Structure 1
C-alpha cells in the first residue's frame, strides 16, 4: 500500500525518544535507563476557527508551525523530565534528595495549566529564535558588505548565503554534543518509521532500518525553503530599504509571508517527489537532513516503532468513539 492511500503522519525527536502526531492524539515514547519504554499520550483539542485557518493556503503554514511548536514543546519537556530522573541515579544522596523534592512538587501537575504554560514557552522560543535568525544575517551583510553590490538582489543573495552558513555551523556544533547526536539519531528513526509505514511494510526493526533517514516532509527541509523563499520575496521591487533598520523591519514584517509560502513549497516538493525530473526540487532540504539526522541504532528504532504503533492504536480508539457518538 502506497502513501497515497494512507494518512500522512508527522513527528519529532525528543530526548531518548520520539513523538508522533495523529489526528486525535499525540504520543511520545521514551527509553528509560532501565530499558523500559514510557509513554506520554496527549489528546488533541479541536478549535473550530483554528481548523478552518489550517485549510487556507499560505495561512495554514503559519498556523501549523505555531501549533507544532506549542505541542512539541510539551513532549520535549516530558522527555527532558524523564531523562533528568534517570540522571539522578548517578548523583550523591544529597543531590538526589534535592532533585526528588523538585520532582515531588511537579508530580501530578502535568495538567492543562502546565501543558498550556509549556506550550506558550515553546511558541515564544520559536518566535524569538526565528526573529534572531532573520535579523542577524541581514545585520552582518549590511555591516560587512554594504558597498559590494549596486542591486538589492546581490545583497539579498549574500544575506541568504550568510543564513545558510550560520545554520550549517550551528547544526554542526550541535552534533558535537552527545545528547544532541542521540537526538538526531532518534530523528532519523522517526523518518524511517514514517517511510516504512507509507510504503506499507510491516513495522519491524529490520524492515524499518532498510529505509532512508531522510524524508521530504521534514521540518529541516522547511528551514532551507524559508531561506530560498525569503531571498525571492525580499528581492521584489516594492520591498526596497534605505537603512539597516528598514531592512530589518521589512524582514520581520514579511516573516509570516515567508513562512506561509515556504510551507506551500514544502508541500509541493513532497507532492512531486515521485515524479522524474521534479523530485530534485526537494534536494536542498534532504541535504540539510544529512546534518539534522543520524543513522539510528536498533534500540532507537524500536522506541520509534513503539511510539508510532501506540499512536495508531489510540487513533483507532478515538475514531471509533467519535463515530459512535455521532
Structure 2
C-alpha cells in the first residue's frame, strides 16, 4: 500500500505492506483523513507515537471496513465508518480497534466523517466527562474557531449551556458565532477577563489549549467549583500560579490528552459520546466545520495551514 512518510520533517509517498490486524481489529480502506496539530508535531519529532502504535501519521479517518479480525462482529464488514486511529491513517489501509468504530450514515460524506472523531471525542471528554458541564451553565472555550473549539461550541449549545469563546481574529470570532457561540472575544484586541467581568460572566467549565499565562486569567473568570481542562500549551509550558485563587473558588485543574489513553478508555469515551450525541451527528444537526478539503498529495500544504494558524475548522485529506 501507499502511505505518507515523515522522514526529516518532510512528507513523501512510500510503499509498505498492509497492516496485519489482530483478532479485535478491522482493516479499513481509508477514504479521507482528518489533519491534526498532533500530526504536525509528530512530523517535527516533538510528539512520537506511543509504544505499540503505528509510527505512520494520522489519528482519525473515514473509510470502508474491508477485513475483520476473528473476534469482530460480522456486521462491520463493508460498513462505511469514521473512527479514531492509533496512528496509521496517512495510508491506503489502517488497522483499527473494532470497538472504536462509528458507522458513517449514507447522508454524510467521507470527508465530513474524517472531520469528526478526534475533535468531537476530545471536546466531549473535556466538556462533559472532565468539565461536568450542565444545562444552564457557562463554558469558556479558548481557540473557539479550531476543530475542537467548533465541536465544543455545538455540543455545549445542544446541552443547554451558554458559550463564550476566544479566537485570534474577527473572522474567526464570526465563524465561532455562526456555530452558535453566545459571546465571542478577539483576544488580540480585547482582554477576555475584562470582557467577561463587564458582561457579568463566569465559567463553570473551561477548555484551554493555550495554558501558560492563561491559567491565572482563567482562574479570575472561573465560577465556584469550576473545572479547567488543559488540552495543550500553545502559550507556554510554564506559569506562575495563584494557588490562593484556585483554593478560594475550589477550582479543579485537569491536564488531558487522548492519544496515549488506553484502548479501554477510548472505547468507553466512544460509547458515552455515541449514546449522547451520535443521533445529532447522524441527523446532521451539526456543522462539521471543515475549512478545506485537499487531495492527500497536498499533505505538506495541509500541515502548513495548521502551523500558520490559518484555518477556522478542520482540514481534511482525500485519499485518491
Asked if TM exceeds 0.5, the reply is no
TM-score normalised by length of structure 2:
0.25
Quick check: which one's helix share is greater? 1
TM-score normalised by length of structure 1:
0.24
Quick check: which one's strand share is greater? 2
